[in-house]
Amino acid sequence: MTYPVRSQLGLWERVGVKALDDCGPASVAMAATWLGKDTSTNQGWDACKAAGRVDTPDKAEGTSAKQVQDALHLLGLDAKIVYRWAPSSLSAKAGGVLILNIQASQTVIPDHLRSGWQKKDWAKRPGNTYGHWVTLAHDGTDWLYACPTMVEGRPAMRVTPEEVQALRDSKEKAGFPPPPAMIVVKKK
């Protein structure tokens, strides 16, 4: 089974800050698509807007965990904010999807998992770190990682359990209070 990326790159604001702040809507679209509801990034954006997300053309606004969860509900999926890894990973291995809020940095995302956008950004700003929604699914054998800064339609990338752990633990290692929010998404 393929797990296509839904990219946020086509959504970034063209005015003012030129913010790339639509990883939440793109992650919503990826989770829905994995679960059999082919959803575009624009449809994910619309669902997040309906869930209360504000996105203006001249500011960088992220998407809260509640807005991600509510957007998934609006798309007809079962979504729950969770904070414990073991039951969350079991849900993904049983056919669900995890949407993780990570602290993206060069120390967390290995070179072979970096998108072209990330490579360019970190070449210009090597120490840059940012909060970022990404998705993880499990195909019965391996974890599949999809980042909204990747190219639209490309397949998700296989990741090792160690890479999954680095993503999962990135917020805490960056000094954010534990535990980080994850959203477990399943079919209703």
Task: Give the sign of the dihedral formed by CA 181, CA 96, CA 110, CA 11.
Answer: negative
**How many domains is the chain partitioned into structurally?**
1
Kindly state whether residue 4 falls inside one of the protein's structural domains: no
Q: Which residue has the tokens 């296509």?
A: 4
Check which CATH number belongs to the domain holding 52 and give it. 3.90.70.10
Read off the pLDDT band of 17 (50, 70, 90): low
pLDDT exceeds 60 at position 90: yes
Instruction: Specify the pLDDT at position 2.
Output: 74
Is the CB of residue 146 less than 8 Å from the CB of residue 109?
no
Average pLDDT over residues 105-111: 95
pTM listed for this prediction: 0.94
- Distance between CA atoms of 151 and 92, rounded to whole angstroms? 23
Tell me the residue range of the domain where 27 lies.
9-187
Kindly state whether residue 105 falls inside one of the protein's structural domains: yes
Q: What percent of the chain has pLDDT over 90?
A: 81
Kindly state whether residue 44 falls inside one of the protein's structural domains: yes
pLDDT exceeds 90 at position 136: yes
Read off the pLDDT band of 106 (50, 70, 90): very high
Average pLDDT over residues 9-29: 79
Kindly state whether residue 30 falls inside one of the protein's structural domains: yes
Instruction: Specify the pLDDT at position 61.
Output: 82
Kindly state whether residue 159 falls inside one of the protein's structural domains: yes
Is the CB of residue 77 less than 8 Å from the CB of residue 105?
no
Kindly state whether residue 2 falls inside one of the protein's structural domains: no
Q: What percent of the chain has pLDDT over 70?
A: 95
Is the CB of residue 184 less than 8 Å from the CB of residue 68?
no
